[in-house]
Structure 1
Amino acid sequence: MGNCLDTCLPRKPDDPRTRPYVQMRQQQTWAKTGIVGLRDQGLKELPAALAESGAALKVIDASNNRLTTLPDFLDSLSGLQRLVLAGNLLTAALPPGAAAGLASLKILVLDDNQVGELPPDIGQLRKLERLSLSGNRLRALPAAIGGLESLQALVVSRNALESLPDELGRCGRLEELDAQGNQLAVIPAALGQLKRLKTLQLDNNRVFAVPSEVLFGCVALQTLSLHGCPIKPDELQETPGFKEFDERRKSKYDKVIAGGALLGNRGLDEGVDRVVSPPRR
């Protein structure tokens, strides 16, 4: 009888001889489910095998790895809907020209990377609904961002933005804009075109005024947060359009109370900081 010790005994998962089999099973799972989960694996690059699944892939989550670049084959994943790459070392949001191929992409999450700019063709992501780039190195957003006609949420907090482009006002479906923790001094009046905007988070910036166009034009705006900004509450309240915004804000508060939700000790948040004078002795 031959010695089957080498072939009959079960092999450990990290045995090099098992890797081709494991990789094959992994690829089969990706192709069958369309979901690729690669979180917390210390990866320096995305597996080339992803290209073989092509349009079958719907979701890729490779958060918390060590990715520095993205592969050129990314534009071949035409069925991809969610790309989550938070907590890596990426300096570019997408490979050059990749946006045109990602025709189905709805969610792009690149929080806590090292992205310094968005690609000039970012506007070709016509179906993108959520773009999150919190904790990167952005200093500006390209005018092409106005082409994101399906965008509902834009999160660019904790960057180094000095301005927001007027073209952002063309994102007609935008409901949430979070740009906290930047260096913004001016809110573009063009944001007043955002009829669906409900939440505008601008805490910890340099904002000193809110354009009347925003208060009047953003007819769905109920949350305007400017904590940590030099804007003066009295001047904000005297801005034309503030009364209309304040009514919407209070209406939202009343609905929350009617629903039985707890708001804590703060109650109705004014959205700005008041300087409290010390008590007289």
Structure 2
Amino acid sequence: MGNCLDTCLPHSKPEDQRSRPYVQLRQQQTWAKTGIVGLRDQGLKELPAVLAESAAVFKVIDASHNRLAQLPPWLASLAGLQRLVLAGNLLTVALPPGAGAGLAALKASGGAGGRGAGMGQWMILVLDDNQLSELPDEVGRLSRLERLSVSGNRLRALPASLGALEALQALVVSRNALEGLPAELGGCVRLEELDAQSNELRSLPPALGALKRLKTLQLDNNPLTAVPSELLFGCAALQTLSLHGCPVRPDDLQETPGFKEFDERRKNKYNKVIAGGALLGNRGLDEGVDRDVRR
């Protein structure tokens, strides 16, 4: 009798076994040529170690929707990596082991020669829908980071070190359990978008008024009852403020100092949209709050 393991299982056919290294080689050649590593929806439990062998080549790694539970230490040394997308995994830690020491070495060296040189190049980090309960302080050392997205995790607080991210343009922390935002976020001088929908925010720090470039602030579905006047006055570029699902009374919001100036910017934005021929849909000009709020 023949061995059924060799003849009956489709994944164990000799020709499949012979072709597998060829397929892997072609895949690696494509990665090296494009600089983009696509590993979505492959059931991976760990990132392929072969990526560490061509550290300077890869600019993008997208390993979303796998079963990754941790990040390998070598990930911090990928000198060319700019985008790391790991949404929909099982991660409980946001950065690779030893990231703190590597980033400290990078800062001390004053350039890209430190062990954490790769992380110093990161511009986009997406960790949506994982199992993160906290972000480490080291995330504030990702000096070139432009977009940080950690939506759909278990975060109850954000580290004050985020305020050191002066290159950050978009911060997405929606669908967590945040009870507050750190006042230090006012130090993110280039921040244009802040999405904190569906959390447990009861108040906002007045220091957010230092965000002169902030254009969009999404706060839907939070227990917020007011918006600081410092925010409405200070965020001179703010055009979109969304508070749907919040117990904010429209009359109270309109009486907040700075609302008139914000409302003018909001209307100017939609006037430009209409002038450009775009449609606003059935809702028309969205006021950003619910009219039937009761307390």
Give me the TM-score of the superposition, normalised by structure 2: 0.87
Paired with 2:80 and 2:14, the residues of 1 have a C-alpha distance of 31
Partner of residue 4, structure 1 = none
- Contact between 2:72 and 2:97, CA under 8 Å: does it hold in 1? no
Paired with 2:160 and 2:219, the residues of 1 have a C-alpha distance of 20
Partner of residue 154, structure 1 = 171
1:183-240 deviation digits (Å, cap 9, x = unpaired): 0011110100000000000000011111110000000000000011111111111110
RMSD: 1.8
- Contact between 1:30 and 1:53, CA under 8 Å: does it hold in 2? no
Partner of residue 175, structure 1 = 192
Identity between Structure 1 and Structure 2 (%): 78
- Give the gaps of 5 or more residues in structure 2: 1-11, 104-115
1:276 and 1:41, CA in 2 relative to 1: closer, same or farther beyond 3 A?
closer
Paired with 1:231 and 1:13, the residues of 2 have a C-alpha distance of 66
Paired with 1:33 and 1:257, the residues of 2 have a C-alpha distance of 40
| SS of residue matched to 2:61 | strand
| SS of residue matched to 1:245 | helix
| SS of residue matched to 1:121 | helix
Partner of residue 103, structure 1 = 120
| SS of residue matched to 2:45 | coil
1:204 equivalent in alignment to 2:205: no
Partner of residue 54, structure 1 = 55
- The residue type equivalent to 1:77 in the other structure is L
1:95 and 1:111, CA in 2 relative to 1: closer, same or farther beyond 3 A?
same
- Contact between 1:97 and 1:121, CA under 8 Å: does it hold in 2? no
1:40 equivalent in alignment to 2:41: yes
1:46 and 1:226, CA in 2 relative to 1: closer, same or farther beyond 3 A?
same
- Contact between 1:51 and 1:73, CA under 8 Å: does it hold in 2? yes
1:185 equivalent in alignment to 2:202: yes
Shift of 1:14: 7.3
1:82 and 1:49, CA in 2 relative to 1: closer, same or farther beyond 3 A?
same
1:194 equivalent in alignment to 2:211: yes
Paired with 1:262 and 1:238, the residues of 2 have a C-alpha distance of 30
- Contact between 1:112 and 1:133, CA under 8 Å: does it hold in 2? yes
1:95-115 deviation digits (Å, cap 9, x = unpaired): 234362211111111111111
| SS of residue matched to 2:200 | coil
Paired with 1:201 and 1:211, the residues of 2 have a C-alpha distance of 15
1:88-139 deviation digits (Å, cap 9, x = unpaired): 1111111234362211111111111111111111111111111111111111
Shift of 1:13: 9.5
- Give the gaps of 5 or more residues in structure 1: 1-10
Paired with 2:293 and 2:137, the residues of 1 have a C-alpha distance of 46
Give me the TM-score of the superposition, normalised by structure 1: 0.91
Paired with 1:37 and 1:176, the residues of 2 have a C-alpha distance of 27
Paired with 2:277 and 2:124, the residues of 1 have a C-alpha distance of 32
Partner of residue 123, structure 1 = 140
- Contact between 1:81 and 1:105, CA under 8 Å: does it hold in 2? yes
Aligned mate of 1:226, from 243, 246, 264: 243
1:169 and 1:96, CA in 2 relative to 1: closer, same or farther beyond 3 A?
farther
- Contact between 1:45 and 1:69, CA under 8 Å: does it hold in 2? yes
- Contact between 2:162 and 2:185, CA under 8 Å: does it hold in 1? yes
Q: Which has the higher helix share?
A: 2
- The residue type equivalent to 1:202 in the other structure is L
- Contact between 1:176 and 1:197, CA under 8 Å: does it hold in 2? yes
